[in-house]
Structure 1
Amino acid sequence: MNAETQEFRISVHGLTLDMFVARLDRPWIGTGFPLEGLKITSDDQIFQLQRLCAFVHVDVSRGRSPDLRYVSFNDDAMMRHARGEDEIEALRRTRWVPTTGFDTELGDATQAHVRLQAGINAVMDDLHNGGKLDLDKLSEGIDTLVDSITRNPSAVPWILELRRKSDYSYQHALGCSVWAATFGRHLGLEKEQLRDLAMGGLLCDIGKVRLPDELLARQGRLSDADWSLLHSHVTESSRIVEDTPGLSAGVIEMVAHHHERHDGSGYPRGLRGTQIPIFARIIGLIDSYDAMTSTRPHAPSRAPHEVIMELYQCRDTLFQAELVEQFIRTSGIYPTGSLVELSDGTVGVVMSVHSLKRLRPCVLLLLDADKRPLPEFRTIDLSQIEEDVQQRPLSIKGSLPRGAYGVDPAQLFLD
């Protein structure tokens, strides 16, 4: 039992009506049940759970208590999960609430993106030319970014996705910074911690400026020697940030350890679990997400939904399960900027994600069911609208790769 959340691990044969199932013994994704948990209201739900699982975790503070004959006590895995949740909850210092609407915040979000992009360009040019890291060129952009994200967490990620360009190094730095601050906001961190996370995301791969340009631009499969040289960017990044006055110890830790992995398979030191500083664990997760959703010289971009699924499958191996689960609560199954097809055949781009209904985001529709551009784009909030015009259930059918059906949101909105 987890005393903090009052959860019990029970056999599915002990399930009854009015129980609240908080967790399964398998991922929620693919089960058809909501990720937020399930209040059992029908025998059919019990049957489905018994078909899918051997054990589930029920929260007695939100539903009926189980018969003790079906309770599994002293479960080491459950206790580890509880400790992980406690560690993350201990980070929370505040609960941010949006203070501006999405449309209102777009202007400031655009300015935050422009300022931070300019800072990144200036700093990386300095380093390419043998200079040192000038924090003053980044500080204003970081502050503007964090301010915008604390007011509304959807606007900057939206602008980020629209403005992605082909230069991976610059765009990846910006993407990690944006997602790190957005994730930190969700976790309830204070502004100074959000600033550190944003700076850590920005600088985690800065050492790549010291690697050969031909390596970074090499297309196709990399050799073992290429990967070994590429891995050295962590050491180079650490040298740069350790030689930069004004950076916090936390940022230096993030840069040094963001390629360590939960199961000890990472580098450079093979740290595992809580040996890895928690902010470095966060940046490691963010770095992987943004890399896989970006176009890299040696690998094509993948749809955000696919990457979320892969991260979920890597719970408790490459990444700490509790952090993955919290990141999905931040990004949604279909993150901001994702191109998606709805069940009625229309195509749109995700504008914002609802914290309680992550499978039903707000979508800006671009194409009709025949994949022709709509005469006027329109917004549909799937958390409020559950049927299409023919009164059939309306939902997201699936995600699409960037450029599907010739759709380039950047050209549509930024020209």
Structure 2
Amino acid sequence: MSVSAQEFRISVVGLERGMFVARLDRPWIGTGFPLEGLRIADDDEIERLRRMCSHVYVDPSRGRSPDVRHILLEDDRVVRRVRGEDEIDNLRRTRWNVVADFGEELGNAQKAHAELETRVGEVIRDLQRGGKLDLQKLADGVDTMIESITRNPAAFPWVMELRRTCDYSYQHALGCSVWAATFGRHLGLERDELRELAMGGLLCDVGKLRLPTSLLIKTGPLTTAEVALLRGHVEQGVRIAEETDGISPTVVRMIASHHERHDGSGYPQGLSELDIPIHARIIGIIDSYDAMTSVRPYAPSRSPHQAVMELYHGRDRLFQGELVEQFIRASGIYPTGSLVELTDGTVGVVMSVNTLRRLRPVVMLLLDQSKMPLREFKPIDLSEVLTDADGQPLNIRGGLPRGAFGIDPAALFLD
């Protein structure tokens, strides 16, 4: 929904019948009102709006004009925030439904993951040998992955997290692509748009393949010259993309701008806020999240829960706050693959996220209260199981680092 030059921001105290409410001070989703706006018909609608909002935006060209006493002056910060929210709202072109349960989709996800992993590895090796980017080889694998994620958004990320290895170069590319498709599904992008976003995630750091390996695996502090060389991977990535037939301008923009930051502290151009293309803003969040949760030679990996908290603390500073909030809605506070301890002392790994109750995901229990392995792993849906065996409230006590209590989910589930 675009910002109309006719709109006035007014206090909800000034709402009257016949006014056309074009926007709220919060997203329309979840309010019960139509997303395209509302012509106020009765006092009940006024009361509902007053309970939900402190101010709204009315369009006098489509309804009754507001009393000037209730018009609120905008400031640039509010205008930018509203426009940013509208950009996100405008991404939603469809609503994806889960059409396959987790167990049913798991086998498909494993096959699709193996295919995409193979294709990514082949393309990376071709580029490392000085060859050109084979876009079609990647596109076929991405399409198979998207088919799985649109059927059920939980199965493919589960397989991906369990299969992570120490080969950062292509595991990061794969992870960014999977999370981009999963996040794009949550935002309501159509299939072609999901393909573009997933391809942008896959290729966002492709320029690093043109940098010295010694620089990429260096564990000590980088010199000023080395930092400049590392940041040059963006230019190298754009160059690779522009040499590739059939690549879309949107993907090129994602590669060019995914290291820009909301407060202007990013690179290479120092863009800020809405000057950063929205798809690049999305990939910037995805790239940072996946990097934090990956095994890297120069930095310890964080748990998915820790990475989500880092993103949350960086909202409205490093990343657009509304996009961070939407990513957390998609990933959950404890994303797929997180090791968690419950309040009864049991330990498990998050299998899938409850989008309505993000603190109550489905968890596969691995250890009992004494931290001993269970004879049989036990899935538990915390949105349905509210108490433990003693009748006490059952919740997640907290996230655990990778490898806690010697747990290797990949060895447990993929042997």
TM-score by length of 1: 0.84
The 1-side partners of 2:118 and 2:198 are apart by: 15
* Contact 1:347-1:368 within 8 A present in 2 as well: yes
Which residue identity lines up with residue 370 of structure 2 in the other structure?
A: D
Which residue identity lines up with residue 121 of structure 2 in the other structure?
A: N
The 2-side partners of 1:338 and 1:282 are apart by: 22
Q: Where does residue 121 of structure 2 map in the other structure?
A: 121
* Gap regions ≥5 residues in structure 1: 11-21, 24-35, 39-58
* Contact 2:10-2:72 within 8 A present in 1 as well: no
Question: What's the CA shift for 1:9?
Answer: 9.6
Is 1:84–2:84 an aligned residue pair? yes
Residues 87, 129 of structure 1: alpha-carbon distance in 2 compared, 3 angstrom cutoff:
same
* Contact 1:165-1:171 within 8 A present in 2 as well: yes
Is 1:400–2:404 an aligned residue pair? no
Q: Where does residue 46 of structure 1 map in the other structure?
A: none
**Equivalent pairs, count:** 368
Residues 66, 134 of structure 1: alpha-carbon distance in 2 compared, 3 angstrom cutoff:
closer
Please state whether the residue corresponding to 2:254 is helix, strand or coil.
helix
Within 5 Å, give how 1:101-120 maps onto structure 2.
101-120=101-120
Residues 93, 139 of structure 1: alpha-carbon distance in 2 compared, 3 angstrom cutoff:
same
Within 5 Å, give how 1:215-294 maps onto structure 2.
215-294=215-294
Give a deviation string over 1:25-65, Cα, whole Å, max 9, x none.
xxxxxxxxxxx999xxxxxxxxxxxxxxxxxxxx9449477
Residues 60, 79 of structure 1: alpha-carbon distance in 2 compared, 3 angstrom cutoff:
farther
Which residue identity lines up with residue 303 of structure 1 in the other structure?
A: S
Question: What's the CA shift for 1:80?
Answer: 3.4
Is 1:152–2:174 an aligned residue pair? no
Q: Where does residue 194 of structure 1 map in the other structure?
A: 194
Please state whether the residue corresponding to 1:296 is helix, strand or coil.
coil
Q: Where does residue 348 of structure 1 map in the other structure?
A: 348
- Choose 131-140 or 348-357, whichever is displaced more: 131-140
Give a deviation string over 1:179-221, Cα, whole Å, max 9, x none.
0000000010000000001110000111111111111111243
Greater C-alpha radius of gyration? 2
Which residue identity lines up with residue 221 of structure 2 in the other structure?
A: R
Which residue identity lines up with residue 282 of structure 1 in the other structure?
A: I
* Contact 2:12-2:50 within 8 A present in 1 as well: no
The 1-side partners of 2:12 and 2:391 are apart by: 40
* Contact 1:9-1:72 within 8 A present in 2 as well: no
* Contact 1:312-1:324 within 8 A present in 2 as well: yes
Q: Where does residue 177 of structure 1 map in the other structure?
A: 177
Give a deviation string over 1:272-321, Cα, whole Å, max 9, x none.
11111110111111000100111211100001111111111111111011
Which residue identity lines up with residue 304 of structure 1 in the other structure?
A: P
Residues 234, 261 of structure 1: alpha-carbon distance in 2 compared, 3 angstrom cutoff:
same
The 1-side partners of 2:367 and 2:323 are apart by: 35
Q: Where does residue 32 of structure 1 map in the other structure?
A: none
Please state whether the residue corresponding to 1:221 is helix, strand or coil.
coil
* Gap regions ≥5 residues in structure 2: 14-24, 32-46, 56-69
The 2-side partners of 1:255 and 1:7 are apart by: 40
* Contact 2:105-2:148 within 8 A present in 1 as well: yes
Q: Where does residue 141 of structure 2 map in the other structure?
A: 141
Please state whether the residue corresponding to 2:91 is helix, strand or coil.
coil
Please state whether the residue corresponding to 1:106 is helix, strand or coil.
helix
Is 1:334–2:334 an aligned residue pair? yes
The 1-side partners of 2:81 and 2:297 are apart by: 37
* Contact 1:386-1:394 within 8 A present in 2 as well: yes
**CA root-mean-square deviation:** 2.6
The 2-side partners of 1:85 and 1:9 are apart by: 20
Question: What's the CA shift for 1:230?
Answer: 1.0
TM-score by length of 2: 0.84
Question: What's the CA shift for 1:86?
Answer: 1.3
The 2-side partners of 1:298 and 1:72 are apart by: 54
* Contact 2:346-2:369 within 8 A present in 1 as well: yes
* Contact 2:80-2:274 within 8 A present in 1 as well: no
